Each structure stands twice: as structure tokens, then as C-alpha cells.
Amino acid sequence: MRNVVRSEWTKIRSVASTVWTLSLALVVTAALGMLVSGLLRHDVGRLGPHQRLAFDPTFAAFAGMNIGQLAMVVFGVLVVSNEYSTGMIRASLAAVPQRGTFFLAKIAVATGLALAVGMATSFAAFFLGQAMLGPHRASIGDPGVLRAVVGGGLYMTLIAVFSMGVAAMLRSPLLSLGILMPFFFLISHVLGNVDATKRVGRFLPDQAGSRIMQVVAPADDTPYGPWAGLGIMVLWVAAALAGGYAVLKRRDA
Amino acid sequence: MIELAGLTKRYGEKVAVDRLTFTVRPGVVTGFLGPNGAGKSTTMRMMLGLDRPTAGEVRIDGRPYDRLKDPLTSIGALLEAKAWHGGRSAFHHLLCLAQSNGIPRGRVHEVLETVGLAAVARKKTKTFSLGMGRRLGIAAALLGDPRVLLFDEPVNGLDPEGIHWIRTLMKSLAAQGRTVFVSSHLMNEMAVTADHLIVIGRGRLLADTSMAEFIRRNARSYVRIRTPERERLLDVLHEAGVTVVETLGGDVEVADGKAERIGELAAQHRIVLHELSPRQASLEEAFMRLTAQTVEYHAQDETPAPRWGADRRKGN
């Protein structure tokens, strides 16, 4: 297993797509968070006391995650589906015929890297965003803030891992991206915000998982808290990985 | 040593590989021959555990592929289809394969040297030509210094120099006592490379024989005759009881061993001969004849259209 992990680390660090997807995730998330925070700085001053209470400076700094997570999706998809689209999978499985070991090592290495970048992204977005908010900023020591920032890193990681599972099931990078990108960018938000589908929509992985990044809970009837929301997302991720593993185990390479 | 026992692969109704049983022995180059679509690549993928057999099994030095510890050190393979990421350098491609099997980093440099890619080791493999790609595939196969080597259509599309290089390499690997199994759809290529032959058609085993035996059995010898007095010669031969095969070009062919007798007959009857030569049919032709019935996609002959008409008449 140690050998296979080393091998997967060599694979992941020796292709350009790893570098550009992950750096894009960080830069886009942090930059958009700064932009939105900077714009809000003036608006918050004009709010009434009630609305001021509902303002969540931490979550405001995470405004870029909606877009930044798409880079994480691309990272997760490419890490897995590149094996198939390039034919590398044949060399990989000839070298490591124990497909469970192969899958576990690949997911572990990619998840570790996504976690490191996800955490860096979340902390960078938080501190840069707060700097832009000036007098309305939150402090990392405020109640619930550290949880939200760490949660943001976990959220980014889980988005990437979910994409890895889906890509392992579908194998084709185009098909995987074609499903995941519009889903996370659009469909999930529509389902989560339209009244008719709201009840179901908020159990979707990104809707449930993003709850952990909110310090001030919105006044709605969401039936789960921040950690339970993340738990729902973890269940989605586990299901995607199980599906991906089942496909890898059963199908010809 | 590679042992196949009743190896079968079915895709729905279609049988791609049909109960193949044979053994590939060390110390010689074994050619794996069959027309395109005969099931060679599928068989080789099953040997590597990439495709799951519907039935039967493959053993590499006595073990199923997925029971091999660090398989690259037991068996190395060059697959026909490209098996690397174009954005990765040759060095990193080989390094990640080496690491997965606990092969030291120094061995990567060694095989890059062996195949002549050391100078471009840090280049992205998508810039590689066909020949360079083939060399990279061979480097990967040699990486674990394995006792068994598989090559799937290794010379396909290569220039004469590349072909010569691969041929020499395969022979030297076999001479070192390794098991070398190489597929091809070209009989003539096999004739100069392989010592033993396994021929399949439509997934079924057609021949498992030494190359010498295959040549002796299949290379039909005959005598070719050209003459301006064709009709007279045919009459004379007919009277003498010699069976004649006429060819399309108007030449006359006679079964082997009769050249002297025909010369004498022609002299007796004062018939002018322009040519009288003993010949051997090509191995390619022998191979084509062997696989003729099993070839899946015939070019044009045997159009089934009249048969449909016949069936319809029968139905009425």
C-alpha cells in the first residue's frame, strides 16, 4: 500500500492539471470573497439593527466558493478520469491489479491534497474577506467562526472527493464534468431555493454541506445543524465512492 | 511461462475468445498470430488481468495475475493502445509505475537508456512520435526485469529501423531464457521473429506448433512454367498424367518434385519453355488459407445476398 501511495503521489504531482485546477480554486474563491466583502462593507453600514444581526461576515467572505468549488470539481474529475481518457489505466492496473488498493491509494492521495488546498483556500478567503469588511469584520476567535472556516476547507475537500467518485462511475471526463458542473453551478441552487423543491433540494450534497460555513443560522426551518449538514454531504460522498469502486471492480479496463 | 486454460470472453452474444488452451514456454519467441479482430488483444488483456474472463483462467508462472506480488517484476507488457498520460514526462510515467512495484528509481534511468529515450526523458510524452511511444511502452515492460514479456503488435506502423530494433530485442530477451509472447497479424513478420506459433481465428485456437513445423506443413511447393505453346504443353502433361493448376496470368503450375520430368517431357515434344522454376508458396498465403474460414470481416467475396433469396423461396 505504501508503494502504491507513493506512486499515486508521483502521478498527481507530475501533471499540469493538478496545479492549475487547485490554484484556480484558491485564487478564485479568495478573490471573489474579497470582492463581495469589499462591496458589502458599505452596504452593511446602512442596514437597520435587525438586519445587522442577520449579517454573517464569515459567510460573506466565502461568497467565492460557489465558483471556486467548480475548480475543485474539475480537479476531482480529472484525477480519476484522466486514467481512462489517456489509457494510463491499463498501465496502472497491470502494475497494481488489486483494484481496491489502487482505488484507495488514488482517492487518499487526491483527498489529502484537496484537503490541504481546501483549508488554505478557506483560511485565505476568511482573512482576506475580513480585511475587506473593515469595521464589520468577524474575528477567528468569535463563537462558531473557527468551525465555519475549518468547515469551509472540509466542504471544498468533500466537493472534490464527490467528483472523484462520480468520475470513477462515469469514466469519461466530459460526461462527468457535463453532469457535475451544471449541477453544482445551477441545478442545485434552483432546487434548493424554489419552494416546491426546497425540502428535497436542501439534502443535496452542496446545499447540506455549505451550512457549516454559516456562523449566523438563517431564519428558516432547515432540519439539520452545521455538522449534521456536513454529515449528509459525507453520506453523498461515501455513496459516490462506493459506486465508483463497484464500477472499477467489476468492469474491464 | 504463461498457461491458458479454457480462456473465454463473451460480450453478450458475441464470443471474442473461445476456450483457448495453450502454454507459452520460456526461452523462445512465441508468435501469437491471427487476423484483425481474431481476439488477440482481448486475450492479452485477460492475461494481464485488465479484462475479466467469462470462463477459464490464465496463470503467469503458476499464479493468477492478481496474486502476483509486484507483478511488473514477473511480467511486463507492451500493449497496442497507448497507455500513458500525454501531459506527464517519460521519466515520471516510468517512475510512478516503478514506485508502485517497489522498483528502485535507478532502474528507470537504466530502461530509458536501454530504449534510447534518456535524452527526452523529461519531455511530455504527447510530443513523442509513434516510434518513441513504442520505445516508452517497451521501457515500461522492461522496468521490473520480468521473466515474462508480452508484446501486442509491437512493430505495427514502425519504420524498418524500429522494426529491426524490436525484433532483435525480442530475440535477445528469449535467448536470456525469458518467455516472450508477441502478437501480430502479419505472418511474414512472425516468420523472421518467432520460433513457435499460436494461431487463432475468431477467438478459437487454430494451430499451436513450432515455426519450422508450420512452414513444413503449410508452405506448399510447386513448379511454375511459362511457355508460348501453352495448349500443347497442357495436352502433353495431361497425357503424362501430371495434375496441372492453371493460374490467372496464364502461367501453369504443377505440384512439387516434377521439374525434371516436365523439362524432359517438353524436350521430347520439342515445346519451348520460357521458365521452369521450383517455388514455395508464401507463409502469408498459408496463414490466410488457415484462417480463411474464420475471418470475421471478409472484404467482398461471399456476398450473402443470393442466400437471402434462396431462404425466401424456401419459406414460400
Instruction: Give per-residue pLDDT as tens, A108-123.
Output: 999 999 999 999 999 9
ipTM value of the model? Answer: 0.89
Q: How far apart are CA B147 and CA B71, in angstroms?
A: 11
Q: What is the pLDDT of residue B221?
A: 77
Give the whole-angstrom CA distance, residue B155 versus residue B158. 5
Average pLDDT over residues A199-225: 85
Which residues 15-74 of chain B have a CB within 8 Å of chain A?
A: 45, 48-52, 65-66, 68, 71-72
**Residue B25, C-beta contacts closer than 8 angstroms, at least 6 positions apart:** B1, B179, B196
Q: Which domains does chain B have, with CATH numbers?
A: 2-217 (3.40.50.300), 221-280 (3.30.70.1510)
Q: What is the residue-averaged pLDDT of chain A?
A: 92
pLDDT of residue B256: 66
**Is a pLDDT exceeding 50 seen at residue A190?**
yes
| Between B313 and A65, residue with greater pLDDT | A65
CA B97, CA B88: separation in Å to the nearest integer?
12
3-class DSSP state of B29: strand
Query: Quick check: B192 and B167 in contact, CB under 8 A?
Result: yes
Interface size A-B, in CB pairs within 8 Å, comes to 86
pLDDT at B134: 93
Cβ-defined contact of A10 to B68 (cutoff 8 Å): no
Q: Which residues have CB under 8 Å from A234's CB, separation 6+? A: A158
- Asked if A122 and A156 count as a contact pair (C-beta separation under 8 A), the reply is yes
Inform me whether the C-beta atom of residue A242 falls under 8 Å from chain B C-beta atoms: no
Tens-digit pLDDT profile for residues A137-176: 888 888 889 999 999 999 999 999 999 999 999 999 999 9
- Give the residue-averaged pLDDT of A37-55: 83
Which residues in chain B come in under a pLDDT of 70? 247-250, 256-257, 293-316
pLDDT at B224: 85
CA distance B118 to chain A (A): 18
Shortest Cα distance, chain A CAs vs residue B93, angstroms? 7
Q: Which residue from B68, B81, B92 is facing A10, i.e. has the nearest CB?
A: B92
